Copies of this chain bind each other. A is one copy, B any other.
Amino acid sequence: MKVELGQKNYLYPALVVLVGANVNGKPNYTPVAHTGLWITRSSVALTGNSHSNKGIKENGTFSFNIPSQEQLILTDYCGLVSGKDTDKGALFTNFYGELGTAPMIEECPLNMEFRVVETTVSPRSRGVPADVYIGEIIATYCNEDVLTDGELDLMKVKPYFVSARDLFYYGLGERIARDGIGEQLKEKQEK
């Protein structure tokens, strides 16, 4: 039995990302769930009047910083205060990569820097439309201690997710299967 939930986007839970941007030359960070992945590009939607939004417009660059579960409270806090009043760069150790204008967070296990290649808007039911930035990946960095045999190990990164529908954060579960496990079914079908 299907139940209709209305005209609401339920694409959750979403990976929690701290978006970084320089605003007036100073690092600012804001947690977002509204990101997207498409091959070598990523998207991020930000409320029109937000401080980070101003910074992305300024420089045409931004960063994604994946917080681990240990940084959950600090990351949530970053969403409760505005960079207009609070120096959020001072909460972290900041570093810059190839672009030079996309601040990244040393303490976050995984960091990516992007150059904006396309922009669009998304309407909102209330308030101003969100600006959507599509960035091309320039470089990715991780902390040495989240590598296993030289490869990024998500069980060490400990990323987490948020659902704006039930207002909970969720941890990452265990590895449950290998990508390609349907091969067995394919072989059976082909017989």
Contacts and interface: CB of A to CB of B under 8 A. Distances in A.
A172 B161 contact: yes
Q: How many copies does the complex hold?
A: 2
B41 A37 contact: no
A64 interface: yes
Contacts of A137: 7-9
Interface residues of A, number: 97
Given A112-B10, A124-B40, A132-B38, A76 B180 contact: yes
A179 B164 contact: yes
Contact of A170 (B14, B134, B175): B175
A160 interface: yes
Nearest to A137: B9
Contacts of A138: 7
A58 interface: no
Contacts of A124: 39-40
Given A2-B144, A179-B167, A33 B37 contact: yes
Interface of A: 1-15, 17, 33-43, 45, 64, 69, 72-81, 86, 95, 106, 110-112, 118, 120, 122-125, 130, 132, 134, 137-144, 147, 151-154, 159-186, 189
